[in-house]
Each structure stands twice: as C-alpha cells, then as structure tokens.
Chain A
Amino acid sequence: MESVPRFSLRSLSQRSREELVFYIFILPWLIGLVLFTAGPTLGMLGLSFTDWRISFDDLNFIGLDNYAKLAADPIFWTSIGNTFYIVAGRVVFGTAFALLLAVLLNQKVPGIPFFRAVYYLPSVTAGVAVALVWIWIFNPRLGILNYGLKLIGIQGPQWIYSSQWVKPSLILMGLFQVGPNMIILLAGLQGIPKELYEAAEIDGAGNWGKFRNVTLPMLSPVLFFVIIISVVGSFQNFTEIRVMTEGGPGESSNVLIWYLWENAFIFLQLGVAAAVAWIMFVILMALTGLQFRLGRRWVFYEV
C-alpha cells in the first residue's frame, strides 16, 4: 500500500477547499444546533414519557401517562383555552393596530421620525421594569387607567385583578408592543410602487378602494410574516404573567408557558412539563403550517 499522503489544505482542489471552509465557518452554529436545539427537542420527547422529577436517577419509563395526566387535568385545558384567547387577541388586534400605525406613519406629514420613535419605545423597554409599571397602571382604585376612564364618565373594571378582565388587560397591554410589526409593515408600505396608486386613481378608486385593492394585496406577504411572528411571540409571553398575575386570579391567566413553568420548577414534575413543552411545540408547528396553507389563498406574491 502506498503511504497515506499528508493532509494539507493545499492538496485539496479549490472546490473542496471552499467546502471545508464552509463547514468550518458554520461549525459553531452546527454544534449549537445539535447541542442546544435538535438534541433538546428529541430529549424533550423522550423525557415526556418518563416520571422524572428532580434527579436523573429515579427515572422510569411510564409511556403516555404524563399525557393522560394532562388530558385529565382541567387546569391544563384552561391554560390551553387562555393561551388561545390571549394569542388570538394579541395577533388580531395587534396586527390591525400595527397596520393602522404604519398607515398613519406613511402619510406625508412633518414629524414622522419622532412619532415612529415614540410608538416604538414601549417595545424596546418590554421587560420586568415596565411590567411592574403596568401593575400600577391597572390598579383599579389608584391607577391612571381607571382615573382616565373616570374623567370620561366610565367606571373602569378591576383589570388584572378580575378573572373576567385579566385576559383583555394583557391583550390591551400587548398593543403597546406592536413596534417591530409596525416598522416591518411600514417598510412594506414604502415598497409599494406609486404607479399602482396612480393607476387606481385613474380608475376612479377612492381612499378605501386604494387601500382595499392596492395596499392590502401588495402588503399581504409582509402581513403574513407579521402574523406568523406575532403568533410565535405571543406564545412565549412569560414575563408579564410571572410579574403581573402568576396565572391568576384563580387560573384565569394561566397560559401554557406558565403551566409549564409551574409544573417544572414549582411542582418539580419535569416529565409532565416536558409533555407540556412538547404539546406547545406541536401546536406552534401546526399553527405555522396551517398559516402557510391558508397563506397560499390570500397572500399575493408578485410574479
């Protein structure tokens, strides 16, 4: 047998050298993918079939018991319902509101960069500090929200302290965080060719006609993107629940991510929590898939 040639970069063809560099450059991401994303996703599926509690040693395969336990737990179903309620509210109202703001900011009036910054601001500072402020804003007796309502003659509700109003409260608060969606939609609006509007005007279209027949179809791919990221984003909303309501009053703001947290790190049932996480994962994938299917019908792509 011939002696094995010494490996060196020079001995490789230009093409395989480029290939090697490609894999070296993506290596950190690839390791991260296997270690922190793909591995955990599969691991999670495995864990969801065990009775794992705290340490790895007392881990038994229990088949679908965790899932059966979940199906029998009314709080699990409540949290599914709450999640869909809040996600639907945030996506529908949030997208409509972001679109309204984007259309307003697309007008040719002075001071637009200033308003854009003002509307964006609450999205940057979304976090514990601002969630704390909102507890105070929602205070039924002393908060500024009910004071403002009182000034216009409305007796405000109990907001986050009422099981009926807590979800609408969270949706309302979400409207202050539409900044990124607003900017994406605004960029989309600015990308619509002016000729289309001129053509529509010649055809005698009014403002509504132009919006309905030019803006919406041209904007639909961007709108689609915004809706998808809003759905995913709304599922992840943990900070507000942890800081403001802890799932309450009662279970009325117990959403999946909070249910998962409680099971994992308060009740220490990690097997159950893994099952919840896996269900959440499947719901998100199904929703995204569904949106892509529906999207084919209403999203208009330029050819």
Chain B
Amino acid sequence: MARASMTKRKQGAAWHQSIEGRRAIGVVLTFVILIPLGILFVMPFIVMVSTALKPLNQVFAFPPRIIPETFQWQNFPDGWYGYGYVDFSRCTWNSLLITVNNIIGNLFSCTLAAYAFARLKARGKNFFFAIILATMLLPNEALVIPQYVLFHRFGWLDTHLPLMVPPWFGWPFFIFLLRQFFLTIPEELVDAAKIDGAGHVRILLQIFIPLSKPALATLAIFAFIGNWNAFFGPLLYLRTPAIQTLPVCLVQYQGAYGNTDWHLMMAVATIAVIPVLLIFVFGQRYFVEGIATSGVKR
C-alpha cells in the first residue's frame, strides 16, 4: 500500500507531463481563451438590451452599468409608437412581406436551375455553369447605378418591385449550393422514376425536393437573414415612409432622434434583431452545415 501511494506521488510529480495531464491543461487553456472571447462577442447585445431597459438619465451615467438600476420596460412601447414620424409596425410588415416573397422567389428559381445544372445534359451547360461560378462573387453594390437606371425606366422607383422581382430570377450562390446538394442524390432513384415514366418536373417535385429539405431550409434561412438585414437596396429604392423596411426606418429614427433618445432607439433595435435571433437559434444546425458546404465542397 505504501508502495502504491508512492507510485501515485511519483505520478503526481510528473502529472503535467503525462498524457492526461497535458490534455487537461489543454482543456483549461482552451477555456481560458474561449470564455472571455465569448463574453466579448455577446457584449454588443448586452449593451443593446441593457440600454433599451434604462431610463434616460441612467443611459448617460458613467461608469456604465450593465444591469440597469431600474428596468424601464416602457421604453419598448414608447420607442415603437412614441413618434408619429416613423411607423415601425408598418416597416416591420414591409420587411416581412419582402423577406417572405424573396425567400419563395429564390427557392423557386434556384431549385429549377440547380436541378438543371446537377442532373440534365445539354450543350452549353459547362459554359453557363462557369458563368454561375464567375458571378457568385460579384458584389451587387457595384451594379447598383445601372440597375437604378433600369428600374427608373421600368417606373419601379419608390416601389417594392426593385427588391421583390430580382429574387425570382435566381441567385448564383444559392444555385451553386443547391446543385452541390442535388449531386449527392443517388442516380438510381432518378432512373427508377424515369422507368415509371416520370418527367423532370415530377422527379424534381417528388424526389429532389423532399430529399433536399435540409438544404432548402438552409437557403431559406440565409435568404431570411440576408433580406431582413438588407439595407443598401431598400435605402436606395424606398423613399415613401409607408413602404420602407425596418433597417431604413431605424436610420430615419436615428436621423431624427438619434443623439438624444438612445434608450428608445436601442429598444427598437432590440425588437428589430429578435426575428433574426429566433431564426438563428432554431435554424442553427442547417446554417452551420450550409456555410461549411460552401467552402469545402467545390
């Protein structure tokens, strides 16, 4: 027994050099970096929510308090309805309308194109696919001037059309992602359906779409977040307050009351972020997979 305890002590002396010891130290070191970084990353949200709950006199207090002395929940309705100048309910409705339309439009047009690129043989296919790859990285902002001219010609300025029509005409990044997914669907399934006399529309509807629900969910989430946060296009095309989206409304609010009513502005900002947060929390799994796919399988 004495011997056993001696061996133990001996091990103890060299514990930090043993395999388990090194692993344990590694875990602790990892946490020493992971946790403070994590706190840093949620800090903007904490600042936002805590400012949203403070009465005005505490907002400008120094040192800043993370947890407000008193919780002023009234900031939320006050911010939302307090000023006739910006109608947030209306803006939220507009954001929702555009976002839902764009998700459906994107899924429709990109599913068709992705199926064609993944499963159909045709002359010119490689050429068109090269264009998909080339335009995937094209920043839309660089094309904004001529698009503005185009929509001006169409008489679409100051309507939702410049934002709601293009998603029905595909988006290279989504087509690419969905094609990658469609390629993994076994050929035998398609062959079997063809023997049963199914056309491409039926194969797409009855085999590809049901089997691609995770991929389609990923795209829907991407599209939701992209469209909900979209700012450049809406700021450019929507002039009439009644048709503006949430981000544009927030900026109007900032312009009108930004330097004074920080607590109310943060309250409204918090509400604006909630839908994205919910989507993120519930869709995280799809999300992570989708992004990982974009970089690895090329």
Contact = CB atoms under 8 A, between A and B. Distances in A.
B56 to A, nearest CB: 13
B265 interface: yes
Interface string B5-49: 000000000000000000000110011011001100111110110
Interface string A127-163: 1111011101100011110010000000000000000
Contacts of A86: none
Number of chain A interface residues as a range: 35 or more
A15 B281 CA distance: 46
Contact of B27 (A36, A109, A264): A109
Contacts of B60: 142
Contacts of A111: 34
B229 interface: yes
Contacts of A243: 251, 254
A143 B246 CA distance: 25
A144 B47 contact: yes
B150 A129 contact: no
B62 A130 contact: no
Interface string B268-298: 0110110011011100100110011111101
Interface in B111-126: 112-113, 115-117, 120-123, 125
B44 A133 contact: yes
B150 A39 contact: yes
B140 to A, nearest CB: 8
Contacts of B146: 39-41, 43-44, 47, 274, 277
Interface stretch (A67-75, A77-85, A209-217, A280-288): A280-288
A273 interface: yes
Contact of A35 (B149, B169, B200, B279): B169
A164 interface: no
Contact of A264 (B45, B128, B148): B148
B189 interface: no
A205 interface: no
Interface in A194-221: 221
Contacts of A119: 37-38, 41
A151 B48 CA distance: 21
A183 B269 CA distance: 27
B84 interface: no
Nearest to A117: B284
B208 to A, nearest CB: 12
A260 B277 CA distance: 32
B109 interface: yes
A42 to B, nearest CB: 8
A183 B137 contact: no
Contacts of A56: 149, 152-153
Nearest to B162: A36
Interface in A220-257: 221-222, 225-226, 228-229, 232, 235-236, 238-239, 242-243, 257
Contact of A124 (B62, B128, B142, B225): B225
Contact of A238 (B27, B34, B170, B232): B232
A19 B143 contact: no
A107 interface: yes
Most interface-central of A23, A134, A222 (chain B CB within 10 A): A23
Contact of B109 (A28, A122, A137): A28
Nearest to B169: A32
Contacts of B108: 28
A133 B268 CA distance: 11
Nearest to B63: A147
A160 to B, nearest CB: 14
A290 interface: no
Interface string B206-237: 00000000000000000001001101100110
Given A29-B175, A124-B276, 18 more contacts: A29-B109, A29-B132, A32-B170, A33-B170, A36-B150, A101-B37, A104-B34, A118-B41, A122-B41, A128-B229, A129-B250, A129-B269, A133-B269, A137-B47, A187-B295, A222-B295, A239-B232, A284-B142
10 contacts: A19-B122, A29-B170, A107-B30, A183-B292, A185-B295, A187-B296, A242-B231, A260-B144, A264-B148, A277-B145
- The 3 nearest A-B residue pairs measured at CB: A32-B169, A184-B295, A29-B170
Interface of B: 26-27, 30-31, 33-34, 37-38, 41-45, 47-48, 51, 60, 62-64, 108-110, 112-113, 115-117, 120-123, 125, 128, 131-132, 135, 137-150, 152-153, 166, 168-170, 172, 175, 200, 225, 228-229, 231-232, 235-236, 246-248, 250-251, 254, 258, 262, 265-266, 269-270, 272-273, 276-277, 279-281, 284, 287-288, 291-296, 298
